[in-house]
Amino acid sequence: MAVRILSIPTDFSIAGYNPYPTNAHKLHIAQLFEQWMETHEKIYSQPEDRTRGFENFLRNYEYVNGRNANGGHSVGMNNLADLSNEEFREKYLSKFQMAKERERRVGSGSERDYESCDAPPSLNWEKKGVVTAVKNQGQCGSCWSFSTTGAIEGINAITTGELISLSEQELVECVTTNWGCDGGYMDYAFEWVIQNGGINTESNYPYTAKDGICNITRANNKAVTIHGYQDVPPNDEALLCAVLKQPISVGIDAGARDFQLYKEGIYNGNCSSDPDEINHAVLLVGYGSENGTDYWILKNSWDTRWGNQGYIYIKRDLSLPYGKCAIHGLASLGYNFSNYNAEQQELVQLFEQWMKKHEKTYARPEDKARGFENFAKNFEYVHKWNANREKGGHVVGLNNLADLSIEEFREKYLRKIHMRKRREVIRDDQINMKKEDEYCSAPPFLDWRKQGVVTRVKDQGYVCGSCWAFASTGAMESINAIKTGKLISISEQELLDCMPPKWGCQGGRKEDGFEWVIKNGGINTESNYPYDGLNQTCNITEAKNKVVKIDGYKLVTPNDHALQCAVLKQPISIGINANTEDFSLYMEVSFGCHLGCASERRGNLSLKGRREIGVRLTSAQ
């Protein structure tokens, strides 16, 4: 039923609501309120609730008349018209600000996936039959669950051709990392669906608009699943390119009064464009343009009696870094491998082959999904690098680290203790190599591996930054083999567990490793004190088993000639900068070194000190 908008004299006021008023103005407003209650099937349990509802209705009625007189988008006496703006915010919006989640997502967006795209003038996924009917979250701050299900419903319909309405209540009750009716984050909901192996239908797990206990039986009924999710970078171009593929979960600020009472038109109202003030989640289903003004199409979860049949058109404002209502600030999507094109499907198959080759398994579905995302990006990087590399330059490839982003690689494989402080305290008078050792007659090539004094390549693992221990043991293994003729693999774990200061997997210094072995009188074998890649308590008994000993160690003068002369005598422990993508994905061809050098990244890799001028270099004596 349509509600007529009438003007009210400015001197009209009312202290309370009487269902049988005698004043003509009061009677008129009371009649409108009764019509509104009937239209929206509104029932109040207490008389004071009805009185407060009428007072809010009156104020909102006056606001609607004044706001619509100024032009722009229309507001009206919708299903939220009996709420003050404070009550509306309390009952419908999230109680948790999004700043924390936005900080968690920094660097997680996939910029290369959304750099540019060829977009048509308009798009509406609802018209394509992949968006379910508008739902109603009721007076429960569960918008995040409706945004999540909407995105999953959309990608599932695109992938399978079947539009299935999914259960918000399952997310409200079962996603323990969120807060049910008090708010939550879409990413956490995506993660739960992936970990659970799917989500039930709305009909099998119906919505109650209340917090409850997770129904495990129903949650085990998995009608629809996703393989992963992705955060969309916070800019207009990325959001446009993302919604071309599927409906997108987005966060916005919906706290303004003209948003609460929105009716139709392109919204350009009083919402905040600060992403730290995001308080509501909706579903982005498309975009369009009207009379030269571009807009986003958003599906809300406040029933069809709100807005334009449950939808709102928000101005697409390129002048704002995070867009109107901060719509760029918190966007994400779920995806299925099966909705990839033929080229992407081939990449999935390649990933499965890579997993088999490297015996890679993932504990959780979301870990595999993230691994595939990284693999896909690294595949693109490898192709570009090798196509553009200089003649004779090194080749990169999909090695055993290809499922890691560069940030994950640095976090898991590189030491967290920076070496600059230690390097600065090494003065020239502490470099105890003889000056004549800096100059020598070197053959064209040297590879100590072929001399039988370098042990097999080892694996420090991805949860322990113990490269320093492997560099230390490598140098000691080799000098022992040169002196005794016996190549013995010695224990990195002993250094991790026993050497002070105990940084262990957080990083360390090779010199400290040498000094501990000297002080201890030797070091045990790898077989007797095996590596597990974790910080443990020192095994005193095994540490007393001293199989290999050194008498001392030397610091190599930090220049190319000194390093070349040093490696003529034995393999050398060195420190390097291994921060780059082309290093993490290195496959073959040297960086220019013509001498075999044992390094902290020991393997089929040739490196020389010039890679980082002035780097600290050491050798066992």
Active site residues: 143, 280, 300
Torsion, Cα of 4, 5, 9, 10 (10° steps): 150
Could you tell me which residues come within 8 angstroms of residue 398 by beta carbon, excluding any fewer than 6 positions away?
Answer: 350, 354, 375, 378, 379, 382, 585
Residues 572 and 563: beta-carbon distance below 8 Å: yes
Residue 415 in tokens? 């030491």
Angle between helices 24-39 and 47-68 (to 10 degrees): 100
Phi, psi of 501 (to 5 degrees): -70, 150
For residue 205, the Cα-to-chain-centroid distance in whole angstroms is 29
Residue 441 in tokens? 């007659």
Could you tell me which residues come within 8 angstroms of residue 388 by beta carbon, excluding any fewer than 6 positions away?
Answer: none
- Cα–Cα distance, 151 to 154 (Å, whole number): 5
Residue 313's SS3 state is: strand
Residue 576's SS3 state is: coil
Q: What is the DSSP string of 404-453?
A: S-HHHHHHHHS-SS-SHHHHHT--GGG--S-GGGG-----S-B-GGGGT-
Residues 481 and 427: beta-carbon distance below 8 Å: no
Q: For the purposes of burial, counting CB atoms within 10 Å of the CB of 54, is it exposed (0-12), middle (13-18) or buried (19 or more)?
A: buried
Burial 327-365 (b: 16+ CB within 10 A, else e): bbbbbbbbbbbebbeeeeeebbeebeebbeeeebeeeeb
Residue 513 in tokens? 């490793």
- Cα–Cα distance, 583 to 600 (Å, whole number): 13
Q: Measure Cα distances from 549 to 147, 174, 481, 486 in Å.
A: 64, 58, 11, 13
- Cα–Cα distance, 406 to 578 (Å, whole number): 11
- Cα–Cα distance, 246 to 453 (Å, whole number): 58
Residues 331 and 248: beta-carbon distance below 8 Å: yes
Helix (H) or strand (E) holding 74: strand 74-75
Q: Whose CA is closest to 298, among 288, 285, 289?
A: 285
Residue 131 in tokens? 């968006």
